[in-house]
Structures are given as structure tokens and as C-alpha cells.
């Protein structure tokens, strides 16, 4: 059976060996020289061998002392490595992490940030799902969610961070505008072919306009030339010249920059749905959750994302 007695005096012995004198070891360990000398004597008595050759001029290890010193330094190194491993277990993001993202925004903006984060933390094993509908994180064991829309009132079981409101603009392909003309007013806009978001129940999402009061939104139900139940699918339909759509800037920014799409009636642009980071409050203190939340909060925005700087190697 292991006895803690075997550990007594090892740190004193190693310190004396490395510093070459009892006095120097006593100063380093904040002990008296007498205490250091007695500690070495007790260790030698327990081991049944002399560890040092003592003369008035110097202190030298015996052969047994040299062998014991090698063993002690190896044991102390193992203990230090174990402590570092425990420290990493507590503070380095690691383990399984459940993340749920909105389909289009998640693939285009949140996922690149998460993938770079995971590259910098190889002990982390994320499980990433894509859902546009409501999910109960507690019921499904999800640690972190990115959500577009939802209530402004959050239960105490969930933490949240407001990223901002998406910006909705009207846009179309140059080919469509060349064929049908560019609308100059809201009334003209509604005479054009329209691409809308279609739901599985056959309904379509309305277009939103600014109301008379700040923050007020008016819903306009517009007949659809084509309805598509996916944001990226809507963009493909607009690129193909099927009409004008009201889309968030995070979804079309690259197409606007390349000229593949053109914004129309910029004075009718309006704020859309709120965007939030959401997490289970009881898991917020875990490094794998808190560190990724901080990264996402820094890198995600209603207009898209920026990738964090790679960690130094």
C-alpha cells in the first residue's frame, strides 16, 4: 500500500541537490537550515542510505543519491504534467458541444466562425445542426443557439445576447430590371413579379415596411410570382430573373458586391427580425460554452460575420 510518508522530504532533497547547499535550499523553501538538515536526515534514515557526502567545503551526491535524484525529478515532472492536464481540463475548451443554427445564416456566417474556433481548440467536438423552426435547448440538450426572430422575453433558464436586427432591402437581377424596368415607388414595386418566402403550409411571408411610428412595421401581403421555402433558394430565383425580393443584407451582400443583384428603392429598406445568441444558463460557465459565445458575440453581426484572428502557434 502506498504511504504518503514516501513523499516527505523529496522536495527538500531536490532543492538541496539543485542549489548545492542546505543554506541556499532553506532560503528558497523559506525554512531554517536546521529544518532542512533534519529533513534530509529523516529521508536518509527512511531510505537506509546516505544521499550526500558532506565535507566542510562542499556537498556532493553519493551514487545512491544521484540515482534517487533522477527518480525524484522524474516523479515531480509527472506530477507537474498531471497538474497541467487538470488545469487544461478545467480551462481549455474540450468535449462535446451541441450547437443549433438557422439554416442559411448558419451555413454562410456562423459556421465559418465555429470551424475556425474548433481548429484552434482541437479537444472540442461540436455537434452542429441547422433548424429554422423553434427548438427547446433544454429538451434537446443544445448548449448554444443562433436565432433569427423569437420573443423579446427570455426565460431565466436561457441566457441571450442581442446581435442586432437584420436589414431588409429590395433587390433584383439586372436582367430582370432591364426587361421589366426599375420601380420608382412602392406602388410600382407591387406591380412587379415578386419572389417570396413560402412556408410548408402554403402561406407566404409578407413584406415589411416602416410604419408611421419609430420601430413600427407594416405587413404587406404580396402575390408571389414564385415562392421558395429557403433563403438561399429565394436568392437563386432572384438571380434567375424571376422578380424582385425583399431579402436580408447578410444573404445577398456578395451578390450586391459583384453586381449580380441590384438594390432597388433603397429608401424603403427597413430593419427586419432580431438576431440573438442564446444558451443554456446552467452551462454558461463551462469553458467550451463561454469561450465560443465570446467569439460568436465578437464575430457575428446582422450584416454577416468577420473571422477572428488565428491563435498564435
Q: Tell me the C-alpha distance between 157 and 256, whole Å.
A: 40
Per-residue pLDDT of the chain (313 residues; tens, 9 = 90+): 445 566 778 889 999 998 888 999 999 999 999 999 999 999 999 999 999 998 777 889 999 999 999 888 778 866 765 665 566 556 788 888 999 999 999 999 999 999 999 999 999 999 999 998 878 887 778 899 999 987 667 788 899 999 999 999 999 999 999 999 999 999 999 899 999 999 888 889 889 888 666 666 788 888 899 999 999 999 999 999 999 999 999 999 999 999 999 999 999 999 999 999 999 888 888 888 999 999 999 999 999 998 877 655 4
Q: Give the pLDDT score at 219.
A: 84
Q: Give the pLDDT score at 308.
A: 76
CA distances (Å), 231 to each of 132, 228, 246, 252, 288, in order?
Answer: 10, 8, 11, 10, 30
Quickly count: other Cβ atoms within 10 Å of residue 51's Cβ. 21
Rounded to an integer, what is the distance from CA 196 to the centroid of its chain?
Answer: 33
In the chain the domains, ranked by start, together with CATH numbers, are 4-91 (1.10.10.10), 93-307 (3.40.190.290)
Q: Tell me the C-alpha distance between 81 and 107, whole Å.
A: 39
Q: Give the pLDDT score at 197.
A: 92
Q: At what angle do helices 249-258 and 231-239 cross, to 10 degrees?
A: 30
Q: Tell me the C-alpha distance between 97 and 46, whole Å.
A: 50
How many residues are there in the chain? 313
Please name the residues in contact with 117: beta carbons below 8 A apart, sequence gap of 6 or more: 124, 291, 292, 295, 308
Cα torsion angle, 213, 217, 222, 224, sign: positive
Please give the model's pTM, rounded to 2 decimal places.
0.69
Q: Give the pLDDT score at 313.
A: 45
Q: Give the pLDDT score at 1.
A: 47
Amino acid at each position: 500500500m502506498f504511504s504518503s510518508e514516501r513523499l516527505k522530504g523529496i522536495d527538500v532533497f531536490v532543492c538541496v541537490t539543485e542549489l548545492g547547499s542546505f543554506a541556499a535550499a532553506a532560503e528558497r523553501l523559506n525554512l531554517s537550515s536546521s529544518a532542512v538538515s533534519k529533513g534530509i536526515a529523516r529521508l536518509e534514515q527512511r531510505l537506509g542510505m546516505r544521499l550526500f557526502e558532506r565535507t566542510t567545503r562542499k556537498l556532493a551526491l553519493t551514487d545512491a543519491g544521484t540515482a534517487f535524484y533522477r527518480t525524484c525529478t522524474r516523479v515531480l515532472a509527472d506530477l507537474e504534467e498531471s497538474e497541467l492536464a487538470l488545469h487544461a481540463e478545467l480551462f481549455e475548451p474540450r468535449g462535446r458541444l451541441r450547437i443549433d443554427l438557422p439554416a442559411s445564416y448558419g451555413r454562410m456566417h456562423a459556421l465559418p466562425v465555429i470551424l475556425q474556433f474548433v481548429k484552434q481548440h482541437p479537444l472540442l467536438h461540436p455537434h452542429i445542426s441547422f433548424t429554422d423552426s423553434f427548438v427547446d435547448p433544454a429538451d434537446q440538450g443544445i448548449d448554444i443557439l443562433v436565432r433569427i426572430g423569437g420573443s423579446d422575453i427570455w426565460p431565466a433558464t436561457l441566457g441571450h445576447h442581442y446581435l442586432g436586427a437584420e436589414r431588409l432591402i429590395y433587390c433584383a437581377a439586372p436582367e430582370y430590371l432591364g426587361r421589366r424596368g426599375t420601380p420608382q415607388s412602392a406602388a410600382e414595386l407591387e406591380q412587379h413579379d415578386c419572389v417570396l418566402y413560402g412556408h410548408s403550409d402554403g402561406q407566404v411571408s409578407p413584406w415589411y415596411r416602416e410604419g408611421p411610428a419609430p420601430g413600427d412595421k407594416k405587413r404587406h401581403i404580396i402575390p408571389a410570382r414564385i415562392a421558395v421555402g429557403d433563403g438561399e433558394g429565394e436568392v437563386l430565383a432572384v438571380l434567375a430573373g424571376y422578380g424582385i425580393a425583399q431579402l436580408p443584407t447578410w444573404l445577398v451582400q456578395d451578390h450586391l458586391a459583384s453586381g449580380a443583384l441590384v438594390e432597388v428603392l433603397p429608401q424603403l429598406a427597413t430593419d427586419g427580425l432580431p438576431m440573438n445568441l442564446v444558451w443554456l444558463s446552467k452551462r454558461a460557465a463551462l469553458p467550451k460554452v463561454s469561450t465560443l459565445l465570446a467569439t460568436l458575440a465578437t464575430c457575428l453581426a446582422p450584416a454577416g460575420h468577420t473571422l477572428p484572428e488565428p491563435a498564435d502557434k
